[in-house]
């Protein structure tokens, strides 16, 4: 936890580029590439950057310079609506790629902010695209990641369009559980890095509604809540709830 100047100097090469040593390889761009190709990708990746809580990675309208792979921490992206209203368009966890929505116009259509201290790898976009023409596996992986983002957004669309507040929150909790478990954490216990307000802005709910629902889930034995520390107690019922079951027949009979 302590910072030592000497260490900084010694590790400078590994700080700059370390895809081949990164534990997130299997979730990130290098997935499916051979050693030589990973080395080529490494050369393109500029530097690792550390963000403190509430620091901005980029802002709405900024020119697209790079994509960012999350190494640790968590970020949120927010779209812009003039009046006070904000829409959180996504939460991003380690192994996920940020900024791909800027490729269309070469400008970021949303802002990205760190929810806690976070490390990101900066991948200059021009160089990445060029490299992708040379490494078919990289192009494939890039297209896959973009497609995954589309699928994720479409799932959110269904959530916001058709699900009740209860279903949305259950769905969101299950999503965090799933994504965090890939990182090796216990799938049923985690700490939310975002406020109730952020959750509400993501789920299209008022922060009070989020709070009330968490309390109710707790009362019903579905979860344990201590501030931002969450423990999922009944994954099956949560899964059912997220899937929209127990709606027709009033949730009483199974």
Partner DNA sequence: CGTAGCTTTGAGTGTTATCAACTCTCGTGG
Partner DNA sequence: CCACGAGAGTTGATAACACTCAAAGCTACG
List of residues contacting a second copy (CB under 8 A): 79, 81-83, 85-87, 89, 100-105, 109-110, 129-130, 132-134, 136, 139-140, 142-151, 153-158, 160-162, 201-204, 243-245, 247-248
Structure tokens that stand for 74 in this block = 């968590």
Query: What is the signed CA dihedral for 101, 156, 54, 103, rounded to 10 degrees?
Result: 0
Instruction: Answer with the entry of a second copy, DNA, none that 150 interacts with (C-beta below 5 to 8 A by kind).
Output: a second copy
| 150 DSSP 8-state letter | H
Cβ proximity to DNA: between 122 and 224 the closer is 224
For the bound state, the minimum distance from the C-beta of residue 156 to a second copy, rounded and expressed in Å, comes to: 6
Query: What is the signed CA dihedral for 157, 162, 163, 164, rounded to 10 degrees?
Result: 130
Cβ proximity to DNA: between 124 and 204 the closer is 204
Q: Residue 167, SS3? A: helix
- Let me know: does 75 contact 92? Beta carbons within 8 Å: yes
Instruction: Answer with the entry of a second copy, DNA, none that 72 interacts with (C-beta below 5 to 8 A by kind).
Output: none
For the bound state, the minimum distance from the C-beta of residue 193 to DNA, rounded and expressed in Å, comes to: 10
Cβ proximity to DNA: between 128 and 230 the closer is 230
Instruction: Answer with the entry of a second copy, DNA, none that 26 interacts with (C-beta below 5 to 8 A by kind).
Output: none
What is the contact surface with DNA in residues (CB under 7 A)? 164-166, 195-197, 200, 204-212, 214-215, 225-228
Instruction: Answer with the entry of DNA, a second copy, none that 16 interacts with (C-beta below 5 to 8 A by kind).
Output: none
- Let me know: does 76 contact 113? Beta carbons within 8 Å: yes
Instruction: Answer with the entry of a second copy, DNA, none that 9 interacts with (C-beta below 5 to 8 A by kind).
Output: none
Q: Residue 135, SS3? A: coil
Which of 199, 190, 148 minimizes the C-alpha distance to 172? 199
For the bound state, the minimum distance from the C-beta of residue 227 to DNA, rounded and expressed in Å, comes to: 5
- Let me know: does 93 contact 74? Beta carbons within 8 Å: yes
- The radius of gyration computed from the CA coordinates of the chain, to the nearest angstrom, equals 20
């Amino acid at each position: 936890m302590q910072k030592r100047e000497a260490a900084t100097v010694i590790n400078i090469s590994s700080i700059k580029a370390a895809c081949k040593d990164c534990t997130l390889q299997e979730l990130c761009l290098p997935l499916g590439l051979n050693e030589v190709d990973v080395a080529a990708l490494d050369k393109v990746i500029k530097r690792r950057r550390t963000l403190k809580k509430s620091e901005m990675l980029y802002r709405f309208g900024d020119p697209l310079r790079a994509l960012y792979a999350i190494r640790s921490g968590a970020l949120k992206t927010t779209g812009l609506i003039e009046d006070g209203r904000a829409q959180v368009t996504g939460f991003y966890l380690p192994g996920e790629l940020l900024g791909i929505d800027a490729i269309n116009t070469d400008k970021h259509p949303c802002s990205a902010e760190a929810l806690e201290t976070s490390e990101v790898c900066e991948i200059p976009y021009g160089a990445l695209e060029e490299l992708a023409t040379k490494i078919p596996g990289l192009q494939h992986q890039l297209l896959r990641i973009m497609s995954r983002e589309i699928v994720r957004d479409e799932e959110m669309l269904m959530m916001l369009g058709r699900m009740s507040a209860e279903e949305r929150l259950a769905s969101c909790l299950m999503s965090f559980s799933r994504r965090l478990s890939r990182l090796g954490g216990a799938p049923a216990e985690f700490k939310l890095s975002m406020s109730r307000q952020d959750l509400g802005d993501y789920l299209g709910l008022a922060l009070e509604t989020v709070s009330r629902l968490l309390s109710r889930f707790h009362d019903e034995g579905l979860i344990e809540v201590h501030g931002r520390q969450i423990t999922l107690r009944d994954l099956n019922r949560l899964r059912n709830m997220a899937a929209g079951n127990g709606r027709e027949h009033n949730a009483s009979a199974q």
